[in-house]
Structure 1
Amino acid sequence: MFVRSIYVTGDPAKIDTAVRALNTEGRDLLEERPGYRGAGVFVDRELGKLMGVSWWDSEEARHNSDEVMREHRPALLEPFAGTLAVENFEAAVVHPVQAPRVGGGLRVSRVEFDPADADLLAETFRSTVIPRLETLPGLARATLLIDREHGTGRVGTLFVDRSSMVASRAGQAAARHEGAAKAHVSVTGLEEFEVVHSELRLN
């Protein structure tokens, strides 16, 4: 599968306006597009950050959908959005454990790697990181998203509630350290979000 991610910052007091628009008009627009497999909306209300993710069954479907979404995105995100970044990834690993829940937590690690090590990263995530993550209570899903061309990626771990996410910090830090060393990866950022919506149809 393939993923488009939007990363938006703005006035925290206006973030709920964007959330409502994405979960209504935005979701309706996505549902109409061929190849759509699901979406997620995640927020940091305190700082005023919003991340939206949409899942697609092919690069072509993702590209075609973006032509439509690009037209509507500014109106959906007003008046919250001050900055907007759009990124595209391949879903190298998707490991579902249980259904995510509204109000749960998402931890995102930003990584950089030599593009030649993309397959090493994916294999290390499957064989080394996933078994460590599976021991963390409350884990809902773990994903590895990569951009093979530019050598960037995102590791996302969803937890069913915020308390599970908080309790997992030490355990995931150990898994992150081991995985980064084995896969020759640099971790360039670490963030946590509240789960507003998360849907992914794997079949």
Structure 2
Amino acid sequence: MAGGDIADPDVVDAVMREALPRVERLPGYLGSYLFVDRERPAMLGVTFWEDEDALAGAVAVGNHNAGAVMAMTSAESVQMWSCDLVHSRPPDPAALLRDEGP
């Protein structure tokens, strides 16, 4: 599946099968999100870590995953950076399931 288009759900599923398990088993892993813009195409992965030490321990795996994602998709570059979470208000799960149709 080298060079696959991330507009293809099978390619995104393959990325999740390959990259996510490597990250999930690391000490201090708290969770993650993967956002996909199929029109651009672009992906944004966000991971959450218990503390700075856990984040530092994840950098090597992140570098490996970046290379794997580039090989599996049509990505031309992968960038990694860290930042502090200064605000969080998760959505109400019930609101996500409501049918607000016409």
Q: Do they fold alike, i.e. is TM over 0.5?
A: yes
- Of Structure 1 and Structure 2, the greater strand share is in 1
The 3 A distance-change label for structure 1 pair 28 and 22 is: same
CA distance in 2, matches of 1:54, 1:97: 18
> What code does the residue aligned with 2:42 have?
K
- Report % sequence identity: 26
CA distance in 2, matches of 1:41, 1:82: 18
Structure 1 position 24 matched with structure 2 position 13: no
> Structure 1-normalised TM-score?
0.40
1:25-174 alignment to 2 at 5 Å? 25-78=18-71, 79-99=73-93, 138=95, 160=96
Q: Are the equivalent residues in 2 in contact too, given 1:41–1:50 (CA < 8 A)?
A: yes
Specify every segment of 5 or more residues in structure 2 that has no aligned partner in the other structure, as ranges. Answer: none
Answer 1 or 2: higher relative contact order, Cα 8 Å, separation at least 6: 2
Instruction: Report the count of equivalent residues.
Output: 92
CA distance in 2, matches of 1:71, 1:97: 32
The 3 A distance-change label for structure 1 pair 49 and 67 is: same
Larger Rg: 1
Q: CA RMSD in A?
A: 2.4
CA distance in 2, matches of 1:74, 1:44: 20
Deviating above 3 A after TM superposition, structure 1's stretches of 4 or more consecutive aligned residues are none
CA distance in 2, matches of 1:47, 1:77: 16
